[in-house]
């Protein structure tokens, strides 16, 4: 049935809805989600340098019966064995992240061949920045992120920018602003 729930493109509906909210809340200065979340094509970096992006300490305690330092130490030990260099990015506070100190900003420097994270949106930031995302556990990087076991065997998943953007458009179909939740428009 035309216009029915099975024929409506959820991806287009979500993208349009989010873009309309951005226009409304920014007094039309932001017209599309691409205006605030930039994307870059897949970056090939010759050197083996990883950016380790740990989740908050509580995440490891509550979900994995572990600690953040233990997780970082395990990652560092394996990277050393594989001949990789690394940097660790501890998540800065919200006020510190506002002035060009977000993960995406750091990834634009082209200093890193991969990011490594667990239970973090860092995998999406990394993929949008064109940097392969390696994940050690539950993650939101879908099939585009490289599982830790694959990485330790020398494999890194490649992706194309168009697929990442299509995937993000799809995710927007199930992303709601708090105003939509409060006023009930999320039900439409």
Instruction: Work out the average pLDDT over 124-138.
Output: 92
Residue 53: DSSP 8-state: E
Whether the per-residue pLDDT at 97 is higher than 70: the answer is no
- 3-class DSSP state for residue 172? helix
The pLDDT of residue 6 is 40
Whether the per-residue pLDDT at 8 is higher than 70: the answer is no
Q: Give DSSP secondary structure letters for 74-143.
A: HHHHHHHHHT-EEEE-PPPPHHHHTTT-SHHHHHTT---SEEEESSSTHHHHHHHTT--EEESSS-S-GG
Q: Whole-model pTM?
A: 0.82
At residue 46, φ and ψ (nearest 5 deg) are -70, -35
Tokens for 11? 């991806």
pLDDT band of residue 7 (cuts 50, 70, 90) is very low
Q: In terms of pLDDT, which residue wins out, 161 or 176?
A: 161
β-strands 114-117, 49-53: how paired?
Answer: parallel
Q: In terms of pLDDT, which residue wins out, 137 or 149?
A: 149
pLDDT band of residue 145 (cuts 50, 70, 90) is very high
Q: Domains of the chain by range and CATH?
A: 49-167 (3.40.50)
At residue 29, φ and ψ (nearest 5 deg) are -75, -25
């Amino acid at each position: 049935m035309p216009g029915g729930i099975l024929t409506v493109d959820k991806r287009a509906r979500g993208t349009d809805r989010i873009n309309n909210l951005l226009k409304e809340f920014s007094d039309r200065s932001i017209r599309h989600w691409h205006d605030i979340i930039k994307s870059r094509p897949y970056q090939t970096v010759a050197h083996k340098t990883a950016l380790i992006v740990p989740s908050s300490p509580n995440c490891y305690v509550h979900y994995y019966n572990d600690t953040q330092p233990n997780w970082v130490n395990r990652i560092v030990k394996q990277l050393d064995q594989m001949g990789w260099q690394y940097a660790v990015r501890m998540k800065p506070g919200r006020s510190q992240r506002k002035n060009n100190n977000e993960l995406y900003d750091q990834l634009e420097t082209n200093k890193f061949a991969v990011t490594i994270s667990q239970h973090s949106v860092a995998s999406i930031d990394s993929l949008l920045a064109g940097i392969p995302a390696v994940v050690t556990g539950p993650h939101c990087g879908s099939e585009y992120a490289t599982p830790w076991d694959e990485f330790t065997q020398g494999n890194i998943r490649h992706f194309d920018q168009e697929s990442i953007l299509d995937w993000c458009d799809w995710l927007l179909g199930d992303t709601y602003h708090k105003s939509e939740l409060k006023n009930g428009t999320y039900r439409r």
